[in-house]
Structure 1
Amino acid sequence: MRDLRELLEGKTDLFEALLEAKKTKERAFGKFIETCAILNAKSGRCASDCKFCAQSKFHTTGAPDYPLLPGEELLSRAREAAKRGIDRFSFVTSGISLSKKEFQRLLQTISRLREELPGLKLCASLGQLDRESLEALKEAGLDRYHHNLECAASFYPRICTRQSWKDRYLTALRVKEVGLSLCCGGLFGLGEGPEHVLEFAATLKDLSPDSVPVNFLHPIPGTPLEGASYLTPQKALAILCVLRFELPEAAIRVCGGREYNLRDLQALALLPANALMVGNYLTTSGRNIEADKQMIEDLGYESNLK
């Protein structure tokens, strides 16, 4: 049994771990890399105080600030994703939750897209929702709901004080209870230690989400973590390996901050991971889809990207 703490501490061979993680991944997923894209459908003025987030109303970052986008723009962006061969498309909104009016508008958009683009799997990340709202999303045609825990419960108070970790966890449980696919992961590079990574991985293993989005901190000027520099490419890759070993049948999805943190080792992330977020993120830019398509192909993997 591999010592995961030693892997996180850099005391064991990372490349051996990557090859082992690759074999574990390919047993479950073969050589296919699933892709997803997100749309920042409502930005800014979040009432929470997450220290990493550019959209918190408590931080001055110059991040975009706008209400829920018009329905036609939401539809247009989803159509564009489908044309590029992206497997999943998600609407992401800032704030702890949406207003009732905003939620109804989004329900209508999801229902329309489900009829128009049956091959595109629809996801949403709308904050903390009750069971009734989650059931409404499922009925409208949503396939998967995303709600991150962000980090280990023991580390969370250092990152956020206005939104409890327990509330996040209960939302994730409700997603599973109503029969929606759950996408639940977090953000690394916040200053957590190996013990926090292992605690978080164990929590995710117990929760058993279908998809685990893995974000790496891209420090944003104006946030309390603007000067943070906790990750190296090797540490980021070790985290991905740990998650693969702990959740061998979950979609480990490399998301925000991969370009900034993995740098020239970015392609190696797809040895433990089987899924990739492409295009731009919420408040930071990604890279062009053609480059990601080429990276996938250069590794001998396959995707539906066009």
Structure 2
Amino acid sequence: MLNNLVNKAIKKAPLSRSEIDFLISCPIDELCKAALKIKENFFGNKIEFCSIINAKSGLCPEDCKFCAQSAHYKTNIKEYPFIDIKGIEQQAKKLKSNGVKRLSIVISGKSPTKSDLLKIESSLKIIEKSGLIGDASVGILNKDDLLRLKKASLNGFHRNLEVSEGFFRNICTTHKYKEDIETVKTAMQLGFYVCSGGIFGVGEGWKDRIELALTLKKLKVHSIPLNFLTPIKGTPLENMPILKEEEALRIIAVYRFLLADKQIRVCGGRNTVFSPKTKRRVLLCGASGLMVGNYLTTKGFDITSDLKDLKELNMQLLQ
């Protein structure tokens, strides 16, 4: 049956609920090998590196239960306004030299201020000058602001849905799920490369995970970042258990079956769930991209170790 589902996924045919349930219960080694076949059909042996810059940190009015940057919680993170543009230029050059293709400006807050927008525009021009593709994860934007950033060379727009609509109220109460959906739809309509995914290990079940995947499929987004919870002291989810490696791998593999031709990136929490010795496993279960370097408020794996993994697995960077 697994081979039949691989063929269906390659043809981008929808899977039934019973077929999805089969994948959820399938032995993990077999599932990962099958998901890798689907990934290789669409991406060959290529893996894309992307990275982020936390350009404005903390004091966010949103109450996302997993986030260290929320002003609702005391997490003792570094809080700062928009960083100096020179710092962005230095990071961009370093990341470019390590094979990173896309670099995203990230700021805290529901939406950027007018001052933030000016600095985002300047940052995007620097990223483009550095030879990287400029992306942004800057909250909920309207059509006019998106068009403004598009003129400033913004290529990719990122807005996570985080979880399923039914589970969303357990994670965030300061804005509506439909606001995220509408932002993603607007970005798609304007021709952006749209990146939207979620976070796992926040108390959701498989029903929620599948619902999120099917929502992203319906929205036809180009890239799906998969994040795994890093429990942060001071947040409501500080005592949540860390996902087991097998569970994280199963999520990646099932998402490959459901979103066969999409760029599936393993992002935040990769170094929480996986160790330096086991992290290469995500590359063997359907992932086609990695977020490398540091995350918003936590450290990531050293990029050179990710490059070493690619070399030893006979994989190449997507340039």
The one-letter amino acid of 1:57's match is A
Other-structure match for 1:136: 148
The Cα of 1:76 is off from its aligned counterpart by: 2.0
Q: Which amino acid aligns with 2:278?
A: L
Distance in 2 between residues matched to 1:220 and 1:132, nearest whole Å: 35
**1:83 Cα shift?**
2.1
The residue type paired with residue 268 of structure 1 is: R
Q: Does residue 65 of the first structure (1) align with residue 51 of the second (2)?
A: no
Are 1:280 and 2:294 counterparts? yes
* Contact map agreement 1:5 1:194 (CA 8 A) in 2: no
CA contact (8 A) 1:201 1:242 kept: no
User: 222-231 vs 236-245, which deviates more?
Assistant: 222-231
Residue 112 (structure 1) shift: 4.1
Q: Which moved more, 1:82-91 or 1:140-149?
A: 82-91
Which residue of the other structure, out of 220, 223, 230, is the alignment partner of 2:232?
220
Unpaired runs of 5+ residues, structure 1, are none
**Is the contact between residue 52 and residue 224 of structure 1 (CA under 8 Å) also seen in structure 2?**
yes
Which residue is equivalent to 1:169? 181
Per-residue CA deviation, residues 60-106 of structure 1 (Å, 9 max, x unaligned), is 11111000112222222222211222111111000101110111122
Q: Conserved in 1, the CA contact under 8 Å of 2:242 and 2:272?
A: no
**Percentage of matched positions with identical amino acids:** 39
- Structure 2 counterpart of 1:252: 264
Q: 1:18 aligns with which of 23, 32, 48?
A: 32
> Deviation at 1:262?
2.8
Query: When the two structures are superposed, what TM-score results if normalisation uses the length of structure 1?
Result: 0.95
Q: Secondary structure at the match of 2:274?
A: helix
Moved more, 13-22 or 77-86: 77-86
Alignment of 1:57-136 (within 5 A): 57-114=71-128, 116-117=129-130, 119-136=131-148
Whole-Å separation in 2 of the counterparts to 1:232 and 1:113 = 36
Report the AA paired with residue 30 of structure 1.
Answer: G
Displacement of 1:6 in angstroms is 4.2
Structure 1 match to 2:45: 31
Please list the CA deviations of residues 18-63 of structure 1 after superposition, one character each: whole Å capped at 9, or x if unmatched: 1111010011001111001101000000000011000000111111
Alpha-carbon distance between aligned partners in 1 of 2:242 and 2:126, rounded to the nearest angstrom = 43
For 1:295 and 1:45, how far apart are their aligned partners in 2?
Answer: 37
SS in structure 2 at match of 1:33 = strand
Q: Secondary structure at the residue paired with 1:209?
A: coil
* TM-score when normalising by structure 2: 0.91
Two-structure CA RMSD over aligned residues (Å): 1.4
Of residues 274, 279, 287 in structure 2, which corresponds to 1:266?
279
Aligned to 1:45: 59
1:231 has 2:243 as partner = yes
| Among 297, 303, 306, the residue aligned to 2:311 | 297
The residue identity in structure 2 corresponding to 1:234 is E
